[in-house]
Structure 1
């Protein structure tokens, strides 16, 4: 099963407002990074890695040519460089994210990226306790909400109807 690392854009801490910006980076070999290295780097916006790759390949090929190495050997050496690119593509992506002040939140295992996202958000949402005014979250094991929380809709009792109280007791606090 593939392993994914989860990265958040904010170094101060991630909350529910930033979940659409989370990035899942699959660890392992990237076939398209090996076959189309510079295009894969462009597609993933890894600009410094692209510049480094171009400079390295140009210097590597020029160095091998100046040593008198044949074209077949240079092609074989370029295949090895492409293979290394395929293995290190996810590390380059994580390095670029860390340079951009992103932080790694978790490591998740899943069959595909959707499964990894589902597993991550199930675990991550259970750890989030400081969410302000979250009307959708219900803690079934916790005590009922109290009326002493300011700003919450359940803090104030409902208004008394204008025509009195409807029901079995005509007055509030009356006898039964």
Structure 2
């Protein structure tokens, strides 16, 4: 499963790093909003993007008006109905980020993860470590680690320092 990028948004005035402020952090996936392409009205309503919903409805109404009164070729008519959905596909998650910024949340981090849950775990592990707490969970174990004192040997073709191979 490929890694995805998520942005973390925290309240501007958060002074402490405790459980209450952690609950207010919002994660937004970077990239395409696929559900917005296929079910745009529900997606906009779910995320409470009222301005985006208004723009989307006006764009669809304009497309209906152009098709009804414009006598356009069928290819252009189809394109007019698909364009608002493609706009949401491309800009949907950025609309969410702008809404969060208007609500006073600032983007504080970008975190990679295979899922949102994994990105949240990585973010909060670093967040707790940065707050100076000793109860910070250690992150995932590395896939491979060298024994103490041993230097890496890239692909086994480069000699190690000091002549040992």
Q: TM-score, normalised by structure 2?
A: 0.71
Cα deviation 1:132-154 (Å, max 9, x = unaligned): xxxxx338xxxxxxxxxxxxxxx
Q: What stretches of structure 2 of length at least 5 have no aligned partner?
A: 136-165
Q: Quote the residue 1:74 is aligned against.
A: 77
Q: Which has the larger radius of gyration?
A: 1
What SS class does the counterpart of residue 32 from structure 1 fall into? helix
Bigger fraction of residues in helix: 2
How far the C-alpha of 1:73 sits from its partner, in A, is 2.2
The count of corresponding residues between Structure 1 and Structure 2 is 131
Q: Quote the residue 1:88 is aligned against.
A: 91
How far the C-alpha of 1:56 sits from its partner, in A, is 2.1
How far the C-alpha of 1:108 sits from its partner, in A, is 0.5
How far the C-alpha of 1:75 sits from its partner, in A, is 1.8
Whole-angstrom distance in 1 between the partners of 2:115 and 2:134: 29
Whole-angstrom distance in 2 between the partners of 1:27 and 1:61: 31
How far the C-alpha of 1:122 sits from its partner, in A, is 1.3
Cα deviation 1:13-53 (Å, max 9, x = unaligned): 25212111211100111221001111100011111111111
How far the C-alpha of 1:107 sits from its partner, in A, is 0.6
Whole-angstrom distance in 1 between the partners of 2:63 and 2:128: 48
What SS class does the counterpart of residue 21 from structure 1 fall into? coil
Match of residue 30, structure 1, among 30, 33, 36: 33
Q: TM-score, normalised by structure 1?
A: 0.67
Match of residue 117, structure 1, among 94, 115, 120: 120
Q: Is 1:101 paired with 2:104? A: yes
How far the C-alpha of 1:81 sits from its partner, in A, is 2.6
Match of residue 61, structure 1, among 55, 59, 64: 64
Cα deviation 1:51-90 (Å, max 9, x = unaligned): 1111122124323543321344212232233122112111
Q: Quote the residue 1:3 is aligned against.
A: 5
- What is the RMSD of the two structures over their aligned residues, measured on CA atoms? 1.9
